[in-house]
Amino acid sequence: MIKPGIALLLLLFSVQLNAQRDTSVLVDKYPFTLSEVIVRNNFDYKTLLSTIKEDTSFYKAFRNLRVLGFSSYNDIQMLDKKGAVKASLFSKTKQHREDGCRTMEVLEEKTSGDFYDRKGEYNYMTPELYAGLFFTKGKVCGENNIVKGRNLNTSDKKGMEKHKEQLKMLFFNPGKKIPGIPFIGDKLDLYDESAHKLYDYRLDMEEYKGGLCYVFSIMPKENKERSDRVVVDQMTTWFDMKTLEVLGRNYSLSYKAGVYDFDVSMEVEMTRFNGLIVPKTLRYKGNWDVIFKKRERAIFTATLFDFTK
Summarize pLDDT for 257-273 with one digit per residue, the tens: 766 788 999 999 999 99
Name the residue among 262, 175, 187, 185 with its Cα closest to residue 217: 175
Q: Return the higher-pLDDT residue of 69 and 56.
A: 69
The listed range with the strongest mean pLDDT (13-22, 51-60, 234-243) is 234-243
Q: 12 with 23: CB under 8 angstroms?
A: no
304 confidence band (pLDDT: 50, 70, 90): very high
pLDDT at position 149:
72
Average pLDDT over residues 141-162: 79
Distance CA 69, CA 277 (A): 14
pLDDT over 90, % of the chain: 63
pLDDT at position 18:
46
Residue 35: pLDDT over 70: yes
Name the residue among 268, 232, 222 with its Cα closest to residue 253: 232
Distance CA 213, CA 241 (A): 5
Distance CA 69, CA 63 (A): 12
The residue type of 146 is: I
Averaged pLDDT score across all residues of the chain: 87
Residue 155: pLDDT over 80: no
pLDDT at position 23:
93
- Bridge partners, 121 (sequence order): none
Cα 152 versus chain centre, distance = 15
pLDDT at position 185:
62
Distance CA 155, CA 164 (A): 13
Cα 86 versus chain centre, distance = 26
Residue 183: pLDDT over 90: no
151 confidence band (pLDDT: 50, 70, 90): low
187 confidence band (pLDDT: 50, 70, 90): confident
- Give the range among 103-112, 119-128, 141-150 with minimum mean pLDDT: 141-150
The residue type of 275 is: G
pLDDT at position 189:
83
176 confidence band (pLDDT: 50, 70, 90): confident
pLDDT at position 158:
78
- The predicted model scores a pTM of 0.88
The listed range with the strongest mean pLDDT (158-167, 218-227, 245-254) is 245-254
Average pLDDT over residues 169-177: 75
Residue 7: pLDDT over 60: no
